Every structure is written in structure tokens, then in C-alpha cells.
Chain A
Amino acid sequence: ETGVTQSPTHLIKTRGQQVTLRCSSQSGHNTVSWYQQALGQGPQFIFQYYREEENGRGNFPPRFSGLQFPNYSSELNVNALELDDSALYLCASSLALWDPNTEAFFGQGTRLTVV
């Protein structure tokens, strides 16, 4: 158990719909990162939040957006869902953005299926 929890664990949505995924970071962690993992591939970085501000973004379109709240929990929102958005979405939290000597802990992910 890492202390990072994600909800829901599984989700089925229809193409064109919108989805919100949630992540509760480990206690004391102020940095949250989101990843998309398609079947058979490594996780792909979506974006990172540090103290409620986006800090770094991967190669994902603007319909992927996020929020971080004062308690450092976070949401990932995806609008206009496409079939290729079907993937495992992972959240990772870490203690301090600028400290390279700190590991990130991952949640178990949300499996999103778009039909």
C-alpha cells in the first residue's frame, strides 16, 4: 500500500462523453503527476501539479485537463472522449517537486474503457 488512492477503479464511457478521475495523494505530498498507460506500453506523462499549479505537461491535447486542490488531491478531466483514450490512468504523488532525491508513489490506477 502506497497511500495513494484512485477512484473509480474501473469506468466505461461512451465516445464523446466527459470523464473525471480522482486521486488522493499520500499524506504530506504536494506534487501529483498523471500518466496514461495503453495496453502493452509504458506509462506516458500527461501533466504534473505542484501546490495547485500545473507544472509540466506531456504531449496531450487540451481536452486533457486537471486540478489540484488545497489538500493536494487531484482530478484528471478528459473531454470529448475518443476510443484511443481507453487506457489505465495512473496518479503518482511525491514529497517535493524540486528535490531529486525523493521517490514518487503510484496509485493502482483507473481502467477507462471508451466504447
Chain B
Amino acid sequence: DAKTTQPPSMDCAEGRAANLPCNHSTISGNEYVYWYRQIHSQGPQYIIHGLKNNETNEMASLIITEDRKSSTLILPHATLRDTAVYYCIVPPYDKVIFGPGTSLSVIP
């Protein structure tokens, strides 16, 4: 299974871009990178996923390096409601493994 590593915590000023990194050096060619977030005591929320091209949706942008060994989730204008734990996941076919994630605190 591909493994991911993320910083345990980050702070971001409200209104600024939040850039959350993830390393997934053992990713294989057909494995997608997924990002989820979990606001306190709620179920994880899907944010975005990608294979090798950069992706953007209404919530965030995902930048994947050319060698696919790392990626960055970008929240372009962080708000207080973006305070959550962010999980970077490379799911194999049969299960999804969550690491400890990055706890993002958006500061007023």
C-alpha cells in the first residue's frame, strides 16, 4: 500500500492561501491521490482527487508533482470554517488507510 506523510499541524491566517503538503513517494502509476477533511466530530468530507494533472474545483486546487511523489492541497482563501484535520490518501482497491493527517488552524 502506498503510504503518505503529512505535517501534523499548520496555521494559516484568515483570507490567505493555505498550502497543505503531502508526500506519497511509493505511489504507483494508477493510484489516485485523494484529499478529505474532517471538521470536529463530523464525518470526513471529500475535497478533491487527481492522478497526475493539476485539479481544481469549487473547494480547492490540487497540485501533483511531475514524479507524482508529492502533492499540495491549496485552499485559496482560507476561512475560519476551513479549520479541520486534512487527510491525504492514496487508496488501494480494497481499503482506504487514513494517516494522522494535518490539523489546520485558520486564525482570525
Contact = CB atoms under 8 A, between A and B. Distances in A.
Interface of A: 2, 4, 33, 35, 41-45, 48, 55-56, 58, 88, 90, 92, 97-98, 100-101, 103-109, 111
A82 B53 CA distance: 46
A104 to B, nearest CB: 7
Interface of B: 30-32, 34, 36, 41-46, 49, 51, 85, 87, 91, 93-101
B98 A43 contact: yes
With most chain B CB atoms within 10 A of its CB, the pick from A33, A42, A56, A105 is: A42
Contacts of A43: 44, 98
Q: Which secondary structure dominates chain B's binding surface? A: loop
B46 A105 contact: yes
A45 B87 contact: no
Given A42-B87, A88-B41, A101-B51, A56 B46 contact: no
A37 B100 CA distance: 11
A12 to B, nearest CB: 16
A107 B44 CA distance: 8
A111 B49 CA distance: 28
Contacts of B51: 101
B96 A104 contact: yes
Contact of A100 (B30, B42, B45, B99): B30
A41 to B, nearest CB: 7
Contact of B43 (A45, A48, A106): A106
